[in-house]
Structure 1
Amino acid sequence: MKKRRKIKLFKARLAKRNPIFEQQRNKISPTSSKKVLAGQYQPGFIPHPLNLSHLKGQKIFSETKLLRLSSSYDLRKEGRLTPVKDQGPAGTCWAFATYGSLESCLLPDQEFDFSENNMKNLLSENCPAGYDRGPRDGGNQFMSMAYLTRWDGPVLEKEDPYDPFDDGPCTQFSPQKHIQNVIFIPDRKDASDNQNIKQAISKYGAVFSGMYYEDQYYNPDKSSYYFPSYSFSNHAVCLVGWDDNYNRKNFNSEPPKNGAFIARNSWGTSWGDDGYFYISYYDTAIGSDNAVYYNAESPVKYNIIYQFDPLGWIASVGYRSSTAWFANIFTASSKQQELLAVGWCVGGASATYQVLVYTDPTANKPRSGKIAKNVSGTITNPGYFTRSFTKPVALKAGQKFSVVVKLSTSGYNFPVPLEMPVDGYTSKAVANKGQSFMSKSGTNWEDITNSWENSSACLKAYASSKNSDVLPGDK
């Protein structure tokens, strides 16, 4: 008698959380409102729950497309930086580093001054889609990515001027741009692992980067900084250039060799060299938690967004494989429209994808109904990715449609990005049954909320109502 073969059923599992986040959970707001003192600058970077340490040291720019880099480079000399700003006594360095990157990436063709005040307030616990943080408290690159990709910003500084003591209101303004892509540059593995950051600065503009700041490691006479020990990041700055020959004797303690990044702070022009400083390649914290906010398009291109994840990418899930499927079922709004693009978060440095769109799917079956789109491609950068369609998908008012993604993230077995509630961080995350789904093979689907309550796939859809204006060449 033949023995029956046992079939192993692998349930989806969550990736382990960021250990630094776990260590600091009781200090999630290191610059709490109670500790803010007038005239005292504060760091304000806090760790995120998602662990992307598997990316450390990976190269994300194709060898065939690398720019030839000189031994020194400075975005100030290229006219690709907006004026230095002052965060005051609030822990909002992360918001200033975000817009330092975005504003730089838009130059020299377009110059903007975006509102950090609106970002810090709308992402606070005082607002409906805010995190568990006060308006003056710390944040990170994931929070600002969520704010930008959900279309709350960027808004103009003149509409919502910066005030470090302002705790609201939760006023929303029309965004000036729609962010299409965010690159999360892998953490450096050592002092010589600088190619990713240098390439990004040269190609795109300023890079958001985490560092550990403490006054004793800063040399005010040379506007230089070198932290030789080990700690988690507590501050965010923009990296805007480098000098491979910067003299190591300019630091309070000598690093092993010469070389430094040029960094822009957000403590006003009276600090450092008009707001800038050099930070050694051998600093142990700089070059971590890196992000570039680029490819910001006109808000006219799309005027309708579908999403279930306003708090963005909080966790990743997989089936012990680098490939998995995820999907959202949306309902078209009251206007007749065209679906033009979809976007999602990516946790691998090298990924392949297939996107399918179905109209009129059956409830809880995202791969049913009529297939209206089937496209595929590759993604070379971790972060947020938008896939636009050459030919749009026509949608009627009130029509159900599903967006289905098959994603393979080489070397990373948690390809599905999720928003989910985390105590002390994203307690406002909510989800309903029948919205978000995941699958190991794309055949059998499970509702994500059956495994994780109030959790959704980080997957958005972008559309344009047919009677709206579309910029020439954008369709």
Structure 2
Amino acid sequence: MPSLLKAGSKILSVVLAISTIALIPAPVSSYAGNHSADGSTEFAPSRVATSKNLSSPDDLESRLESVSPGYVQPPIDPSYLLQGGSSPLLTRTTASFPSCYDLREQQEICEAVRNQAAWGTCWAFAAVGSAESSLYPEDTTVFSPRHLAYFAYNGAANPHTPEDGTAGDTFHPWSYPSNDSRFYWYPWYEFGGNTFLATATLARIGVQTEEVVPYPESYQYFGTEIDSFGTPALKDAYTALYGNVSETFHFTAPYRLVESNYLPTRDSFGNLNGNAIKQALLEGSCIVVAYASNQYNTYTLPNGEQIVAQAYNGPNRVAVNHEVQIIGWNDTIPKESFCTSWTNGEPTGNMPSNDGGWLIRNNWGNHWGMDGCFYLSYEDSSISETCQFIASADPSYDHLYQYDGTGWNTTVGIRDKPTAPVSMANVFTATGQQSIQAVSFYTTMPDAQYSIQVYTGLQESDVPDSGVPAFFKEQKGWEPYAGYHTIALQQPVSIQSGEPFSIVVKLENPTSNGLTDSNGPIYPIACEGNGPCNGIFSDAAIAPGQSFLRGSNGTWLDLADFQESTYVSSGIHNLTLGNVCLKAFTTDEPLGSVTYATGNGLDKL
């Protein structure tokens, strides 16, 4: 008999509004406000949609036999990310891929299926599992979901590295006010997350190993007393080992996040197309996917093999409540296996139009499903956040300059012109004689184009391009998928101790069939949001002279000037802007090394 896990979710999508001076009120359902000035560029960011909270069983036994809620909708409505751009992969024929594929059979992932047990950490298991697979089998290190979950909600700047400007940045696992946390044993393990939360945290502090920060993957570690979320407490004997994570391990992660790519499930015309995911699987990476965990069917194939399949959630969009990993596919899985009901052994309920489904590795242990796995229809309407995480231990950088501790919460751009290019900049002060080796930032749509310039020796702290440009021409490129990207500089740039420098990145989204999320246009700049949003409180501290925006012909705008302005306000949502999402990676340079300065200022943004 199919089992039922209670479903529910929370949805928030944001597009704020920023430009230059005076606040102009606007309806909460679209924009809470915007800033504009005569003759200047007007910028715009995000919008809001909400739904009910996740439900959970009151009874402990039922709680232990099912799974804790572990997913909350991100600040950005991620549904638009399922539609692809112009990647050549999306034009390849289905025949160019095998009809079925399983990473386990290719020995491209560890066969063990982990168990999130009593905590709502599915999102953390999925993210670190995908990151692990990007290194396997050459590196078989197991990553720690507990380290990710704990420090997502207990973030702080590294006290040993003054270039880490994320002080005051963290997420809180409760709605405002924060004292709601008194009702939970460990809210950072219980409340849940998503790929946006995972990316922001892993990009900030790196990826830690399971050996250093282990996870309690058995119910034997939990007692019978439950909190208001329905979660059992750790037994006293295990609180020291599995409870709060020591600050000793906060900034010692040996691996870093290189990429988190949102791979489409449809082409630019909206037609079902999983080629990008299939190609990533063939290359050895499993993919995070969010979906609506509900009814599971046991179905017997014509050859006698029994499979487990998630009952069809489509065709209409439904609330998401769980996050797992795609580890393969099978084009021949019968559509009937996904049917929602049968009468006299015949399918009579809803089911997909076509055969085929993704092979999913769950986080509920090997004893569940098909050795811990199940199938999810290609057509399931709940599929969301199909994201590939790529980790690396090489090259290692000595310093990380950053302000965006909470990552991509909203998009910012020129109002009503989502494809117009916008420049963002972060101004930093060098903490030693170093060499800038790479930068990282998000692209918010597929096929985004970027250009990078570095300015050293800034003459004016509030003018990011008032120094010496490092490159005669900007370093340019494009990204086929939205997500977080680390870009190595074609030529390193030297900086001297105490020297102010800036990273300037211009981003432009394509005119690709007017891709939008459910509430409005997508703008090119990823930015933090500060305030309560969808039950998670995002603290995104910002100070003057850190982050700037500029249109093609405008002046630089300091985002700290808009810190006190509310951009989205509707009930529990009350957001202001934080920093733009832009980092710089450096290595130490020996004294007397060459300083690079190849530009002459003739090729400004």
- The TM tier, using the shorter chain, reads 0.7 to 0.9
* 1:416 and 2:520 correspond: no
The alpha carbon displacement at 1:284 in A equals 2.1
Local SS of the residue matching 2:172:
coil
Name the aligned partner's letter for residue 57 of structure 1: Q
> Which of 397, 405, 422 is the equivalent residue of 1:324?
422
User: 2: CA distance between counterparts of 1:455 and 1:337?
Assistant: 27
| Higher deviation after alignment, 64-73 or 362-371 | 64-73
Local SS of the residue matching 2:545:
coil
* 1:291 and 2:387 correspond: yes
User: 2: CA distance between counterparts of 1:52 and 1:159?
Assistant: 33
User: 2: CA distance between counterparts of 1:395 and 1:181?
Assistant: 26
The alpha carbon displacement at 1:446 in A equals 0.6
Larger radius of gyration: 2
User: 2: CA distance between counterparts of 1:258 and 1:245?
Assistant: 6
* 1:180 and 2:265 correspond: no
> Which of 383, 387, 391 is the equivalent residue of 2:483?
383
Alignment of 1:68-107 (within 5 A): 68-82=96-110, 83-107=112-136
Alignment of 1:158-237 (within 5 A): 158-163=211-216, 165=234, 166-171=242-247, 172-186=250-264, 188=266, 192-214=272-294, 216-219=295-298, 222-229=307-314, 230-237=317-324
Instruction: Structure 2: give runs of 5+ residues left out of the alignment.
Output: 1-36, 157-167, 174-186, 218-233, 235-241, 300-305, 341-346, 512-520, 565-576, 592-605
> Which of 446, 449, 465 is the equivalent residue of 1:349?
446
The match for 2:152 is 123
| Higher deviation after alignment, 274-283 or 304-313 | 274-283
User: 2: CA distance between counterparts of 1:139 and 1:213?
Assistant: 15
* 1:370 and 2:468 correspond: yes
| Higher deviation after alignment, 187-196 or 241-250 | 187-196
CA contact (8 A) 2:406 2:538 kept: no
Name the aligned partner's letter for residue 407 of structure 1: L
* 1:403 and 2:431 correspond: no
User: Closer, same or farther in 2 for the Cα pair 1:371/1:59, shift >3 Å?
Assistant: closer
User: Closer, same or farther in 2 for the Cα pair 1:299/1:105, shift >3 Å?
Assistant: closer
The match for 1:394 is 494
RMSD: 2.8
Local SS of the residue matching 2:530:
coil
Alignment of 1:146-157 (within 5 A): 146-150=200-204, 152-157=205-210
The alpha carbon displacement at 1:282 in A equals 3.1
The alpha carbon displacement at 1:78 in A equals 0.8
User: Closer, same or farther in 2 for the Cα pair 1:71/1:40, shift >3 Å?
Assistant: closer
How many aligned positions are there?
A: 452
The alpha carbon displacement at 1:118 in A equals 0.7
* 1:12 and 2:43 correspond: yes
User: 2: CA distance between counterparts of 1:442 and 1:177?
Assistant: 40
User: 1: CA distance between counterparts of 2:59 and 2:150?
Assistant: 16
The alpha carbon displacement at 1:212 in A equals 0.2
The alpha carbon displacement at 1:300 in A equals 5.0
User: Closer, same or farther in 2 for the Cα pair 1:140/1:63, shift >3 Å?
Assistant: closer
Give per-residue Cα distances to partners, 1:279-320, cap 9 Å, x unaligned. Answer: 22232213x1110012x2325531200011011110111113
User: 2: CA distance between counterparts of 1:181 and 1:129?
Assistant: 21
The match for 2:399 is 304
Local SS of the residue matching 1:421:
strand
> Which of 298, 313, 337 is the equivalent residue of 1:250?
337
User: 2: CA distance between counterparts of 1:378 and 1:389?
Assistant: 14
> Which of 438, 441, 462 is the equivalent residue of 2:552?
441
Name the aligned partner's letter for residue 298 of structure 2: N
The alpha carbon displacement at 1:378 in A equals 1.7
> Which of 239, 246, 267 is the equivalent residue of 2:326?
239
Name the aligned partner's letter for residue 436 of structure 1: S
User: 1: CA distance between counterparts of 2:406 and 2:56?
Assistant: 21
Name the aligned partner's letter for residue 363 of structure 1: S
User: 2: CA distance between counterparts of 1:108 and 1:93?
Assistant: 23
The match for 1:465 is 588
User: 2: CA distance between counterparts of 1:48 and 1:31?
Assistant: 20
CA contact (8 A) 2:359 2:376 kept: yes
The alpha carbon displacement at 1:377 in A equals 1.6
User: Closer, same or farther in 2 for the Cα pair 1:304/1:222, shift >3 Å?
Assistant: same
The match for 1:336 is 433
CA contact (8 A) 1:336 1:396 kept: yes
User: 2: CA distance between counterparts of 1:276 and 1:191?
Assistant: 27
CA contact (8 A) 1:118 1:160 kept: yes
Give per-residue Cα distances to partners, 1:257-288, cap 9 Å, x unaligned. Answer: 321110000000110111111122232213x1
CA contact (8 A) 2:449 2:476 kept: yes
The alpha carbon displacement at 1:14 in A equals 1.1
CA contact (8 A) 1:175 1:299 kept: no
User: Closer, same or farther in 2 for the Cα pair 1:445/1:192, shift >3 Å?
Assistant: closer
Give the structure-1-normalised TM-score: 0.87
The alpha carbon displacement at 1:91 in A equals 0.7
| Higher deviation after alignment, 29-38 or 426-435 | 29-38
The alpha carbon displacement at 1:345 in A equals 0.6
The match for 1:3 is none
CA contact (8 A) 2:170 2:538 kept: no
CA contact (8 A) 2:454 2:501 kept: yes
Name the aligned partner's letter for residue 448 of structure 2: A
CA contact (8 A) 1:31 1:91 kept: no
The alpha carbon displacement at 1:179 in A equals 1.6
Local SS of the residue matching 1:241:
strand
> Which of 123, 126, 143 is the equivalent residue of 1:114?
143
The alpha carbon displacement at 1:357 in A equals 0.6
Name the aligned partner's letter for residue 527 of structure 2: L
The alpha carbon displacement at 1:410 in A equals 1.0
The alpha carbon displacement at 1:349 in A equals 0.6
User: 2: CA distance between counterparts of 1:180 and 1:126?
Assistant: 20
CA contact (8 A) 2:125 2:363 kept: yes
Give per-residue Cα distances to partners, 1:424-475, cap 9 Å, x unaligned. Answer: 434321000111000112651111122344611100000011259xxxxxxx
The alpha carbon displacement at 1:124 in A equals 1.8
User: 1: CA distance between counterparts of 2:59 and 2:430?
Assistant: 44
CA contact (8 A) 1:57 1:186 kept: yes
Give per-residue Cα distances to partners, 1:126-152, cap 9 Å, x unaligned. Answer: 8764312122221000111111111x2
* 1:456 and 2:579 correspond: yes
Give per-residue Cα distances to partners, 1:27-75, cap 9 Å, x unaligned. Answer: 3x76699999445422311101113444442246324995931111111
User: Closer, same or farther in 2 for the Cα pair 1:61/1:315, shift >3 Å?
Assistant: same
The match for 1:360 is 457
